[in-house]
Chains A and B, each alone.
Chain A
Amino acid sequence: MARMLEFQFGGQTFRCGIDKVDREALYGRVDVETYDRAGSRCEVATLASDGRTLITSGGTGLGYMTGEGRWIERAELSPVDSAGRRLNTIASSFDHPLELELRTTPERFLDHSIRSTYLLVPDDGGMPAAFASELDGGAIFKFDFSYRGGVNADPAFILKGADGAVWMLVGAENSINFLGFTEAKALDTDADETPAGDDLDFEMM
């Protein structure tokens, strides 16, 4: 069952369920199966650098270590910003109403990369008519969203798609700067040896 978010718009409150829609739901998926010469199925495993320790799925874990090499539990960690100042944590967006008062432009929306796509399905009460009317008029609402809570909220948008559905898109803002004549960059002349796209997660789906 879809989780419900509570929104506030123009003094009215309404609730919507969110259904995640991803590539797999639209187009299906491609699984890769691996076979040995005898035609029997193979699995991926990890071989440690000692060349003899074979580790199957679930055989590794991640842990936090202090500078002195002491194991530390995640609950004992504190988030800080780049200057070392402690940061407050925020609650999950499912725990409180989300105010919809900020509208944004297509250009500002296009400054963001979209990471998660949710179909908004209002509960029996529906959406306020004024809100639906604004969406029909092309409005894009922006608000902060955090699925689980934590340090940072992500920018999220509500808009009406070309298919008539109402969508909530969660993403991240990019750093985009106007470039002048003097801001030329050098071509990557060693492109064959430097794997491209370090910051692009093309395998995300």
Chain B
Amino acid sequence: MPNINLKDGRNRDARVRAESVGERATVRYVDQAGQDVRMKKVLRATAEHSYDRLKSAASGDDEALAANLVTADTDVDLERIGMFLTGASRVFVNRAGEIVTHITETEVVRAPSGEEKERRPRKRPEPNTDGDLPVSWTGRLIKKDEALRRFVFSSKLQIVHVNGLTYDFLYSMAKELHEAGSLMLLGAGKSGKDPLIFTRHATPHRGFLEGRTNGDTYVLLLHLSKMELKAPVAVEPVVAAHAAATAAQIAPNAVPAAVTPIMPPVTEHPAAPPAIVPPAAEPVPLAATQAPAQSRSRRPTVRDITSATSAEPAIPANAKPEIAAVTEGAKTARARASRPKAKTPPAEATGPAAMAADQATPEATAPAAPARKRSPKPSAPQ
């Protein structure tokens, strides 16, 4: 798990550990004899046996294709179909089915409605949690009960000390937050306000630090959020009607309360995490968190966080296609991926994608593939 360079409200900083707290699945699947089974990836069809290719081979005539399937089994390759796939690489192919070694990637930004809003060279956010600039307290405290109703915390990291000094450092942080009963918004980067990026190309997250103490022990939990808890614009009328109906049910004669959105829709930069109210220049005193709830609806809420992601890396002068890397084995690719200057996420640690990580440019010179989606846990089919 990652280290994190963390700074507290007194501007003391230290590198500590951020550990995963997710529980591992304990369910396994066995066969009728009680023996463990393994999940294997197998080949179902090659590109040559795709419908388009077979139809093309039949001169685009479906009747001829059907006849070929019946008489010549053109859709079956007994030598290869069904073979186990290990150490496979991800590549880009053009419309002719040829491997492409020099690509340009373009991001197409779409609004929630699906409408295209912008085209731009692909951005590749760099990690900002374990660098020279510490992740710092912004001074913005949010009561726990308020935070959980405003943000969706999709993952968490537990901050752990690495020696006696950092124990004191983190314990004191946890105690302060525990007594405040609030979460502290953290920020990264030079401004200390940027969202957190733990791995290369990862989605930026807003980080909220929670502290708990019990005697001499402590818990420092970093709650990560990339989404607000609010209804999409299209659903808001339904929500308003529902809120009004609920209010009427409780007090039929009462005037339905207006549904005041916490924040306006953030659609300028879909990859950005929830917008956060800009913090005060100085850290907010803990006592200030006791402010009445009604004042929250009037504070400024708009913040364009388009600039949250890192700047584009420069195009290396010596960048050139390396077609040989397309077929190199996983070991070579991993060695390449583990070069000290290339922080490569696990999904890209094989084959050409690893090479692409070395040459992180908007106009990549290798068949770089987007981050591979994590495959389901092999032992837990649902």
Q: Interface residues, chain A, CB within 8 Å of chain B? A: 19, 21-38, 40-49, 51, 53-56, 58-67, 72, 74, 76-82, 84, 87, 106-107, 109-110, 113-115, 117, 119, 121-122, 126-127, 129, 132-133, 136, 138, 140, 148, 150-152, 159-167, 169, 172-181, 183-188, 191-193, 195-205
Q: Is the CB of B152 within 8 A of A163?
A: no
Please name all residues of chain A whose beta carbon is closer than 8 Å to the beta carbon of B332 when the two chains form the complex: none
Q: Is the CB of A174 within 8 A of B226?
A: no
A27-B267, A29-B270, A161-B150 known; A49-B87 Cβ under 8 A: yes
**Of listed A24, A51, A183, A185, residue having the most chain B CB within 10 A:** A185
**In the complex the two chains form, what is the Cα distance from A162 to B228 in whole Å?**
10
Q: Does B88 contact A (CB under 8 A)?
A: yes
**In the complex the two chains form, what is the Cα distance from A109 to B343 in whole Å?**
34
**Contact for B161 among A110, A184, A200, CB less than 8 A:** A184
B320 to chain A, nearest CB (A): 13
**In the complex the two chains form, what is the Cα distance from A63 to B122 in whole Å?**
35
Q: Does B280 contact A (CB under 8 A)?
A: no
Closest 4 CB pairs of A and B: A196-B2, A178-B217, A199-B20, A28-B270
Count B interface residues, CB 8 Å: 152
**In the complex the two chains form, what is the Cα distance from A38 to B160 in whole Å?**
51
B366 to chain A, nearest CB (A): 12
**Contact for A79 among B3, B27, B246, CB less than 8 A:** B27
Q: Which of B32-40, B64-72, B186-194, B281-289 is near enough to bind chain A?
A: B32-40
Q: Is the CB of B250 within 8 A of A133?
A: yes
Q: Does B100 contact A (CB under 8 A)?
A: yes
Q: Does B93 contact A (CB under 8 A)?
A: yes
Q: Is the CB of B163 within 8 A of A184?
A: yes
Please name all residues of chain B whose beta carbon is closer than 8 Å to the beta carbon of A51 when the two chains form the complex: 326-327
**Contact for B112 among A19, A24, A127, A167, CB less than 8 A:** A24
Q: Does B26 contact A (CB under 8 A)?
A: yes
Q: Which of B55-63, B133-141, B311-319, B344-352 is near enough to bind chain A?
A: B344-352
A41 to chain B, nearest CB (A): 7
- 9 more contacts with CB within 8 A, not counting A30-B110, A44-B90, A202-B199, are A33-B105, A42-B100, A54-B48, A55-B45, A67-B36, A110-B148, A164-B240, A164-B243, A179-B158
**In the complex the two chains form, what is the Cα distance from A32 to B105 in whole Å?**
6
Please name all residues of chain B whose beta carbon is closer than 8 Å to the beta carbon of A110 when the two chains form the complex: 144, 148, 153, 210, 221, 223
Q: Does B291 contact A (CB under 8 A)?
A: no
B118 to chain A, nearest CB (A): 9
**Contact for B47 among A56, A113, A162, CB less than 8 A:** A56
Q: Is the CB of B239 within 8 A of A40?
A: no
Q: Does B255 contact A (CB under 8 A)?
A: no
A22 to chain B, nearest CB (A): 7
Please name all residues of chain B whose beta carbon is closer than 8 Å to the beta carbon of A127 when the two chains form the complex: 246, 249
Closest partner residue, chain B, to A113 (CB atom): B155
A40 to chain B, nearest CB (A): 6
**In the complex the two chains form, what is the Cα distance from A166 to B336 in whole Å?**
49
Q: Is the CB of A188 within 8 A of B212?
A: no
Please name all residues of chain A whose beta carbon is closer than 8 Å to the beta carbon of B219 when the two chains form the complex: 176-179
Closest partner residue, chain B, to A157 (CB atom): B148
Q: Is the CB of B340 within 8 A of A60?
A: no
**In the complex the two chains form, what is the Cα distance from A27 to B225 in whole Å?**
14
Please name all residues of chain A whose beta carbon is closer than 8 Å to the beta carbon of B338 when the two chains form the complex: 192-193
A125 to chain B, nearest CB (A): 11
Please name all residues of chain B whose beta carbon is closer than 8 Å to the beta carbon of A169 when the two chains form the complex: 152, 229
**Contact for A49 among B38, B45, B88, B265, CB less than 8 A:** B88
Please name all residues of chain A whose beta carbon is closer than 8 Å to the beta carbon of B48 when the two chains form the complex: 54
Closest partner residue, chain B, to A200 (CB atom): B155
**In the complex the two chains form, what is the Cα distance from A58 to B45 in whole Å?**
8
